[in-house]
Structure 1
Amino acid sequence: MTTLPTRPTAPRRPSQLLALAQLVRAELRRLVRNPMYAIGTIGFPVMFFALFGLPVIHEVGPRNPNIGPVLLVQFAAYSLLSLAMFSFGAVVATERTGGWLRLLRSSPLPIPLYLTGKVGAALVFSAVCLLCLYTFAHFAAGVTLSLALSISVAVKLLLAMVPLIALGLCIGFLTTPQAAQILANIVSVVMSFASGLFMPLSEMPTFVQRLAPFLPPYHVREIAANAVTGHAVAPLHWLALLAFTLLFGVLAIWGMKRDESREG
């Protein structure tokens, strides 16, 4: 009795979910191994909270018990803004011009999966940043949030980070690494002040107060601040963040396509 030859089976490709997990792990390891990046995204928000937040809490806290949680979420918003600008602005620009994205395009790994892995790693690292900031605020200033409220605020902040990530991708795909580094610094600082993250908008010039609603961090701040004070969040803030996501997302995709056409 003869048996027909069997066709050799091709090795199974790892699932996209497994590949995504490996990308997230690799990106997290890259972030952790860069001490200056960790200091900038975790240390600076804590330092700014100590410099700008603690004096206000000690002076106004007895008269306004909500000031501590509000300041906490404001500096949390700055932390996420800074992380998005550098992780998706400066880093993506460097990987794009350094040939890493060109290598990925020639591999079976889809570019959207690469970007999804960076987003996943950024969200995980952002959660760590929020935890460190909350821990410092709790022990240094006595700022306390319930577990349910802490989780709710953290989820809203991470969701509101999406347009900031899209803005970072715009910088990464449309500028050179040198320009991206400068823009990341300028955008994170200027938007933070102009959005009321470091000081009340009422103390800023009139033109800055009028400009603030046109900046994504302003709406991130409003969503988080209303969550900790118990006020209803106006749907306008979420709609504005959605509009920013679409605008920056389209520009980032256009920049990515332009980059691909140049390589072709």
Structure 2
Amino acid sequence: MTTPSTPAPSLPRLAAPSGRRAPLLPALAQLVLAELRRMIRNPMFAVGTLGFPILWFALFGLPNARETTDSGVNVGQYLIVSFGTYALLSLAMFSFGAAVAIERTGGWLRLLRASPLPAPLYFAAKILAALLFSALSLTLLYTFAHFAGGVTLPLGLALTVLGKLLLGMIPLIALGLCIGFLVNPAAASVMANVLSVLVSFASGLFVPLNQLPDVVQRAAPYLPGYHLAQLGWSAVAHDTAHDLTHWLWLAGFTVVFGSVAVWAMKRDEARGQ
């Protein structure tokens, strides 16, 4: 999946006619809406993050949706988590990897630095938009699984899975920002493609880990996608004994990737990128 360059959204006005700083909340809302429009208007991005998870479920989930695992977990519920995690991983890699690289090299970030817009507001808007788009992707996936495959999640369980996956997406966003600030747009698109596929497979999202080579099974616990999926799988299996371990791993990934992204951003600022 590739994401062609799209025009940057128009910059919201932050200065009132009297010269006073306008409230930041309306500016944040404008930026979130602009980011959502950018996502929706990019066909490849929208199809990749909304359509592909549904396609994978149709191909691999529907034939097995009503079966159960050896531990009694419904396979359809398990696969909702698997392909939902893949959707969030892809969204983070492209929305914060390829898109940020395009905005950085295209001069959009230089314009933001010269404007009254605080930099944290820009990132907050992108994160909020990504979470909203992710919630939409997960909702569409569940809706398809429910009506096409008869897979049902009780409301409480559905909200628990949704909350875990969205909160656990933060380190994926940080990883996407690393890509966006470290490489050029062409390389960012390739890297986003490669990482989203490799991490998904190595985390057991498409093939159960116990069916993968030993080297992949040993590497999986060092991947953020693995821990994110484990949190969702533990919810549908009603076995949350190891959740704290997975949250700690995700927090560590956030610190590491976030630190690298901040360093790379400051390096670009120093270079005048």
Superposition TM-score tier, normalisation by shorter sequence = over 0.9
Query: SS where residue 65 of structure 2 aligns?
Result: helix
Cα displacement string for residues 111-153 of structure 1 (whole angstroms, at most 9, x for unaligned residues): 1110110000000000000000000111111110111111111
Q: Which has the larger radius of gyration?
A: 1
Q: Which amino acid is 1:179 matched to?
A: A
Q: Is the 8 A contact 1:219 1:241 kept in 2?
A: yes
Residues 226 and 145 (structure 1), Cα distance of their counterparts in 2 relative to 1, 3 Å cut? same
Displacement after TM superposition at 1:81 (Å): 0.3
- 2:53 is matched with which residue? 45
Equivalent position to 2:259, from 242, 250, 264? 250
Please show how residues 21-60 of structure 1 align to structure 2 within 5 Å. Answer: 21-57=29-65, 60=67
Question: SS of 2:232's equivalent?
Answer: helix
Question: Which residue in 1 is equivalent to 2:144?
Answer: 136
- Greater shift in the superposed pair: 66-75 or 234-243: 66-75
Runs of 4+ aligned residues of structure 1 deviating over 6 Å after TM superposition are none
Aligned-CA RMSD value: 1.5
Tell me which residue corresponds to 1:5.
none
Identity %: 60
Distance in 2 (CA, whole Å) between partners of 1:209 and 1:199 is 11
Q: Which residue, 228, 242, 248 being the options, matches 2:236?
A: 228
For structure 1, the residue ranges without an aligned partner over 5 or more in a row are 1-8
Aligned residue number for residue 190 of structure 1 = 198
For residues 176 and 223 of structure 1, what CA distance do their matches in structure 2 show? 33
Alignment correspondent of 2:169: 161
Q: How many residues align?
A: 255
Q: Is the 8 A contact 2:174 2:257 kept in 1?
A: yes
| 1:123 is the counterpart of 2:128 | no
Match of 2:268 in 1: 259
Q: Distance in 2 between matches of 1:167 and 1:62?
A: 32
Residues in 2 aligned to 1:62 and 1:148: alpha-carbon distance in whole angstroms: 22
* Paired residue secondary structure (1:193): helix
Give per-residue Cα distances to partners, 1:42-81, cap 9 Å, x unaligned: 00111111112222335x3497452211111111000000
**Contact kept? 1:57, 1:68, Cα under 8 Å:** yes
Q: Which runs of 5+ in 2 are unaligned?
A: 1-16
> Residues 144, 156 of structure 1: CA spacing in aligned structure 2 closer, same or farther, 3 A cutoff?
same
Q: Could you tell me whether the CA contact under 8 Å between 2:96 and 2:177 is conserved in 1? A: yes
TM-score (norm 2): 0.90
